Structure 1
Amino acid sequence: MYVIAGLGNPTAKYEKTRHNVGFDVIDRLAEKYNIRVSDNRHKALCGSGMVEGQKVLLVKPQTFMNLSGESIGAILNFYKVEPETNLIVIYDDISLEPGKLRIRKKGSAGGHNGIKNIIAHVGTQEFQRIKVGVGEKPQGWDLADYVLGHFSKEDREKVEDAFDKAVEAVGYMVNGETDKAMNLFN
């Protein structure tokens, strides 16, 4: 089984913000594969189903971004899932232009507090990830204000396209074709 976790912040206040692109991709996956992400367990909204013939658990941690590892760590422990092979985390990246994707098999937190917390709780930085570009913060802006802000209409259209590409990438990744996903979407 794959655990596919999209990072974001709970409550309507944060919907469609830059920091919630992980939740947006999970919503797209749930819609495409007819998976209800409504079970509240392990400090997350979860939904079980199939993606491209593989059993998956879609996860939207409800701990707020910076504590995402609490939820994901508990889920991996409960289901006995190995993060190195069967965890995919989807999140925002300010170093990428809006709508660009970067798929990696492993890596550091790169300053992302949600990823930092996941690494601390699962004990490794070797897990697959899909980074969705949200653009660099403008000079003089507070980083938190920027990532918790909303996209311009133009940038929103770009990230909407990226969500579809991320869904397609997940299809490859759950079938062991991460290299192919990287070649197609990086």
Structure 2
Amino acid sequence: MLIIAGLGNPGAKYEKNRHNIGFMAVDAISSRWRFGAPRAKFQSVISEGEVEGQKILLMKPQTFMNNSGNAVGEAARFYKIPPADIIVFHDEIDLAPGRFRMKTGGGAAGQNGVRSLISQLGPNFRRARMGIGHPGDPQLVMPHVLGDFHKAEQPWLEALLNACADVLPFAVKGEDQRYQGEVLRLAPAPKFSPRQAAQTAKGD
């Protein structure tokens, strides 16, 4: 079994936030592949299914972002799943909007959900890092990540989410670099800087 977890904050208030792109990715995966009805378990909304014959547990922790590790850690201990079989989708301000990178191990890079996961699992889980860009000023980071995606960002966002779901079998087979390449082939990142993206997001 693999765990695929998306990070975000629960509740309608946060549903369309940039910080919730991990939840959006899990929703796209659930829609693309055959998963059972969502239910509450492990302090999360979970659903179970298969991708290319591999059993998958999808998770959206309901602990709020900063305590995501409590939920994923509970599930990992219950099923005795090692970090190498855990994929976490999360927002990444150090990547330009629409960029996508797979990474195993390393630090949290200021992402509090990832920091919580490291505290529970150690560093060696697999991270699907989804770029949302940096607003250019550290004081603007919080309103940026907790702001909704602007309508001008929807085309690249939808393309990225669909690509992450469509080519998931590569990640399921452990081919993370191939997965990254296929996602970027299907959903090329838009051609603007993070600062320009932040300015666009303020333009509504």
Fold conserved (TM > 0.5)?
Answer: yes
Aligned residues: 184
Per-residue deviation, 1:87: 0.2
Q: Report Cα offsets for 1:71-126 as digits up to 9, x if no partner.
A: 0000000111011x21000000111121111111222111101000000011x111
Structure 1 ranges of 4+ moved more than 6 A: none
Partner of residue 142, structure 2: 144
Partner of residue 76, structure 1: 76
Per-residue deviation, 1:139: 2.8
User: Are the aligned partners of 1:102 and 1:185 in contact in 2 as well (CA < 8 Å)?
Assistant: no
The partner residue of 2:157 within 159, 170, 175 is: 159
SS at match of 1:114: helix
Partner of residue 14, structure 2: 14
Partner of residue 172, structure 2: 174
SS at match of 2:101: strand
Q: Which runs of 5+ in 1 are unaligned?
A: none
Q: Equivalent pairs: percent with the same residue?
A: 37
Matches within 5 A, 1:127-138: 127-138=125-136
Give TM-score scaled by structure 2 length.
0.85
Per-residue deviation, 1:140: 6.5
Q: Which runs of 5+ in 2 are unaligned?
A: 185-204
Matches within 5 A, 1:6-155: 6-36=6-36, 38-83=38-83, 85-122=84-121, 124-139=122-137, 141-155=139-153
User: Are the aligned partners of 1:6 and 1:25 in contact in 2 as well (CA < 8 Å)?
Assistant: yes
Pair 10,37 (structure 1): closer, same or farther in 2 beyond 3 Å:
farther
Between 1:45-54 and 1:152-161, the stretch displaced more is 152-161
Q: Distance in 1 between matches of 2:161 and 2:37?
A: 17
Give TM-score scaled by structure 1 length.
0.92
Q: Distance in 2 between matches of 1:40 and 1:136?
A: 33
Q: Distance in 1 between matches of 2:54 and 2:117?
A: 23
Q: Report Cα offsets for 1:36-62 as digits up to 9, x if no partner.
A: 452111100001100122100000000
Pair 169,126 (structure 1): closer, same or farther in 2 beyond 3 Å:
farther
Amino acid in the other structure paired with 1:148: L
Per-residue deviation, 1:169: 4.5
User: Are the aligned partners of 1:89 and 1:129 in contact in 2 as well (CA < 8 Å)?
Assistant: yes
SS at match of 2:148: coil
RMSD across aligned positions (CA): 1.6
User: Are the aligned partners of 2:134 and 2:141 in contact in 1 as well (CA < 8 Å)?
Assistant: no
SS at match of 1:142: helix
User: Are the aligned partners of 2:160 and 2:183 in contact in 1 as well (CA < 8 Å)?
Assistant: no
SS at match of 2:9: coil
Q: Distance in 2 between matches of 1:5 and 1:109?
A: 16
